[in-house]
Structure 1
């Protein structure tokens, strides 16, 4: 009996403690950061009644969120932030009904990143650390703090279609879009195609989906409408996923409804900065096409994002997806604030009839590696684009006179480093495909600059566009930094660590011309002279290693391009360059658009000439400058050297043959 009394006392005290815990209303009043939401709540009778007498979940935007909000602000807005169900973080499901007229759903997304999980309601992120729950009159009430104001889809007050439509699905929204506040955008052209092709059920479907609807401005030229068939309409829907822009990772791919046996279309989001403004694009990638549907990516600006509907979310886009009907130059100039608008401005700075623009306009088969808007903000780039002669060379370095979709680059790069000739004579682009945990990254190097391809395979009628994150041909690293980061130059860089040889390559007082054997060249040398190669890495042979590298480097008051050397040293008359070791006597010739240097009686291929750096130039060569006497000096330690297993040498060489570095 005594035990029962103790239990009753514990239960009573627990109840008292629970009841004395600050209520949600008190919690809101205590938090100055939620004052604007509290003011909105207190003006609404339904919200106040719910807070006083019912279980509830509040999604409370911060004051900063209200300052960023530019939508309509009336007393009913708070009801879109309230549910009559009390749901904690762990119990949040795919959706929860709001108290707004028609009870439109609030969509929940759990975004799993490597470090932690984030939870979103529509496009707003929940601050997990600030979630709170309390009991009021025996009713559980929950508070979640969010970083955006939730914007409902509301009918216009002057709607002329009879009763206003609350909580429409995607098709009802499309059919009656003129009765909703979607700004200046009109959706009549796409609506007409949906009805004409009898695709109403696609937008009427129950469940949770993502819909992309192109606005009327995107149907110019008018012939574009003729290219939209039933398959294209399907390509504007992602089934079984409700994707709000902030809650969806960039470049994550989702299958569209147009993912069938013959045609396969995937969709992803891309976010970029234009100045201080963040712009989100949607990409449709037709990875498998047919006679009517071209392969490649179509990029469309989202002009009005995150419109919640009964069966998911709608994004209004600037142009139809999947439709390839513009040239490369048309894509560049299509939008004044598009992803490549600064690139187009730079091209036009050369005049309306400059040769680069003429080639983009007239060419039938091209691939353009186009620097993003952010890439042009680099100070070094800003300084150099004022020189129009130099600028034309830089622009030509970004153009390849053939179609190079991503799969062609990957195929060509399988057994060797793929190099593609550019519109700049005797200059090539070099590609590297990095596969890390099934995430593939493509890098391209031109003129000493290594850039990452951030958007591939934008399709045009006359070729492809790949967006890159740097301007090629405008160096931004020293010789040292280039050696350290270039995946093709690892072995020479590691050899240069001996006796601190590399440190001088960071100096800006001198100009360097450095003939650097690429990794493949050293691995060929390793097979031919294994003892000498192994000795180069021994601690007690650092002096010899340094001497060999000194023969490859000229430190002077200027650096030498290959064309400079060709003028100074032709096939019959060598030119002597001073090095720290001994004079470097070279002859230079050009054959089949490739350069060769003759050293010590051997013609050596210059695999990558003129890799420009901020303090010099690197020439990547296919054979090291090593003499027989160097081999004898290093090989003298055969009896004491640490032998590398032959099998390891063989494996490393085979691996190098596969990757070519």
Structure 2
């Protein structure tokens, strides 16, 4: 009848959308997809009334991405290419929009219940609605006790998060919920459905004031083939009652439309920090770090690593995501318990390191933090793009991105990373190419295809790689010599210099190997393609140094493991004065000879001045 006689907008789910829809279907479902006003995509406002009893709104989101704009109705994406306008035989204009999900209305069980409830009316009468086995009594009781029902009663368009009763265990958790925490469960002036909201986009909660500042965002993660959506509260400024840091909660039932916005049921309250690091790891069987916890428990319930997590008061855990454990190279070491213990210890720092502390410590130098694995450090890098900052961490030759930061626990912080540290997955070449600290050496190695050999997996390489800072110091001391390294006609000599830094053999040498072979009194000669590399090694104040050509050089990052060798990052290049002079069979032109003679004289003169 509507199609024959009335003006309508019809939101039509595709056949595939109905195949995925598991809820009951009746006439009310059709009415929820119809509006009595013909509205094109251009004229869609932030909401449009449906024909369902009580005229509940359909919420419209315009998601603007760099390359295109998407339109959502509730949680369904509109196929903008298939929208269609027509006029029926009675001259009424009609509009069809094709959507990729069935719109699910909030319907009461009985006719006497509330139709088109707001968030508080839904909470007050939650037993009358189809929300599965979830119960909301604890949060409802707390809302009334704190006289905060007006927050959920407010007109307008908002996003509400309601923790289910299971999230109030232990029972003492309820005591930590005050009025400010309730405010932290509401995002005002935004109706946020999960698919329509970008991951990690931050929104201010109602708990955003001078003293306490809480922001909220969504994030998704894969658990096998299943996509799980979480909500995060990040208390960026706290007080004595509200700890800084992130609290993550699984959304157990998402996208419940109400008169004043949308409700998401969550597994536990936001903002409340009352669990240890281990409690967070094991909180849910399918949680974001459930596989990491399984790996820990495979070592036995009383293993040393688990005991330290349980007993330590100030720790930071860099925890690999569930997906990270699926890597083939990682699967191969799970049966090696000795190696696994070392790898787990590499992920633990015995102090509290929230992201802002890491960024502050990284401002003037590469920040390195000692791990629970003796003499092993984590190295941090902060990448800034526009207003976004991404934190990367390197340990044991593996560079990982921190995907979730600052998850707060009573005894420290958890950062979720996208790789397992200490299990190399790149060749020496790939590590050199991707490590932000080694750009200059990599670019020098492009000359005469020097880097090409480092892809070879049949040999093992030990490469002493000067970090960018080492070359920058060299440039300050010897600017002309440094500039010459990058000249086209100096490529032969650049290659010779780099050859001195590489040992190609049937094995790679860790710093422990070198220390055994070459102590402070007995040097050891390593064969390179250029000339024998005579080294001595010493350890001082938990740092390693190598002596080359009578000069002790700091090993900034020893034992960066790769699939075909080891990189030792050093603080000075192995460069001699004679490397700058023209020798050998390169046969440079007369003009080049004169150029290099001038360079040599300048270089020697600088050295004399230094002495």
The Cα of 1:76 is off from its aligned counterpart by 1.9
Give the aligned partner of residue 437 of structure 2. 488
Counterparts of 1:443 and 1:66 in 2: how far apart (Å)? 42
Give the aligned partner of residue 561 of structure 2. 612
Q: Deviations over 1:473-512 (max 9, x none)?
A: 1111111011111111111111101110000000111010
User: Does residue 102 of structure 1 match 2:51?
Assistant: no
Select which of 110, 118, 135 maps to 2:87.
135
Q: Deviations over 1:106-158 (max 9, x none)?
A: 0000000000100000000000001101001211100000011111111114x
User: Does residue 447 of structure 1 match 2:399?
Assistant: no
The Cα of 1:639 is off from its aligned counterpart by 5.4
Three-state SS of the structure 1 residue aligned to 2:402 is strand
Q: Superposition pairs for residues 577-596 of structure 1, below 5 Å?
A: 577-596=526-545
Counterparts of 1:205 and 1:637 in 2: how far apart (Å)? 79
Alpha carbon RMSD of aligned pairs, Å?
A: 1.4
Give the aligned partner of residue 66 of structure 2. 114
The Cα of 1:638 is off from its aligned counterpart by 8.5
Three-state SS of the structure 2 residue aligned to 1:472 is coil
The Cα of 1:538 is off from its aligned counterpart by 1.4
Q: Superposition pairs for residues 39-188 of structure 1, below 5 Å?
A: 49-136=1-88, 137-157=90-110, 163-188=112-137
Counterparts of 1:546 and 1:80 in 2: how far apart (Å)? 71
Q: Deviations over 1:335-362 (max 9, x none)?
A: 0000000100011011101111000000
Give the aligned partner of residue 609 of structure 2. none
Counterparts of 2:571 and 2:510 in 1: how far apart (Å)? 17
Select which of 354, 364, 382 maps to 2:331.
382
The number of equivalent residue pairs is 591
Three-state SS of the structure 1 residue aligned to 2:332 is helix
Contact 2:10–2:96, Cα closer than 8 Å, also in 1: yes
The Cα of 1:197 is off from its aligned counterpart by 0.3
Select which of 367, 391, 400 maps to 2:316.
367
Counterparts of 2:529 and 2:99 in 1: how far apart (Å)? 64
Give the aligned partner of residue 550 of structure 1. 499
| TM-score, length basis structure 2 | 0.95
The Cα of 1:637 is off from its aligned counterpart by 5.0
Q: Deviations over 1:520-568 (max 9, x none)?
A: 1011111111121111111111111111101000111111110111111
Counterparts of 1:261 and 1:415 in 2: how far apart (Å)? 30
Contact 2:40–2:95, Cα closer than 8 Å, also in 1: yes
Give the aligned partner of residue 232 of structure 1. 181
The Cα of 1:632 is off from its aligned counterpart by 3.4
Contact 1:531–1:638, Cα closer than 8 Å, also in 2: no
Select which of 143, 150, 153 maps to 1:201.
150
Select which of 227, 242, 245 maps to 1:278.
227
User: Does residue 621 of structure 1 match 2:570?
Assistant: yes
Q: Is the deviation greater in 626-635 or in 523-532?
A: 626-635
User: Does residue 473 of structure 1 match 2:411?
Assistant: no
Counterparts of 2:159 and 2:582 in 1: how far apart (Å)? 70
Counterparts of 1:386 and 1:202 in 2: how far apart (Å)? 53
Query: Which ranges in structure 2 are unaligned for 5 or more consecutive residues?
Result: 600-611
Counterparts of 1:91 and 1:362 in 2: how far apart (Å)? 60
User: Does residue 434 of structure 1 match 2:383?
Assistant: yes
Contact 2:582–2:593, Cα closer than 8 Å, also in 1: no
Give the aligned partner of residue 489 of structure 2. 540
Contact 1:535–1:637, Cα closer than 8 Å, also in 2: no
Contact 1:340–1:373, Cα closer than 8 Å, also in 2: yes
Select which of 526, 547, 550 maps to 2:475.
526
The Cα of 1:633 is off from its aligned counterpart by 3.8
Query: Which ranges in structure 1 are unaligned for 5 or more consecutive residues?
Result: 1-48, 645-661
Three-state SS of the structure 1 residue aligned to 2:363 is coil
Counterparts of 1:401 and 1:349 in 2: how far apart (Å)? 23
Three-state SS of the structure 2 residue aligned to 1:91 is coil
The Cα of 1:405 is off from its aligned counterpart by 0.4
Contact 1:400–1:420, Cα closer than 8 Å, also in 2: yes
Q: Is the deviation greater in 533-542 or in 177-186?
A: 533-542
Structure richer in helix, relative to its length = 1
Give the aligned partner of residue 359 of structure 2. 410
Give the aligned partner of residue 10 of structure 1. none
Taking a change above 3 Å as real, the CA distance of residues 225 and 566 of structure 1, as seen in their structure-2 partners, is same
Counterparts of 2:223 and 2:55 in 1: how far apart (Å)? 37
Counterparts of 2:518 and 2:347 in 1: how far apart (Å)? 30
Select which of 314, 325, 333 maps to 2:263.
314
Contact 2:347–2:371, Cα closer than 8 Å, also in 1: yes
Three-state SS of the structure 2 residue aligned to 1:184 is coil
| TM-score, length basis structure 1 | 0.88
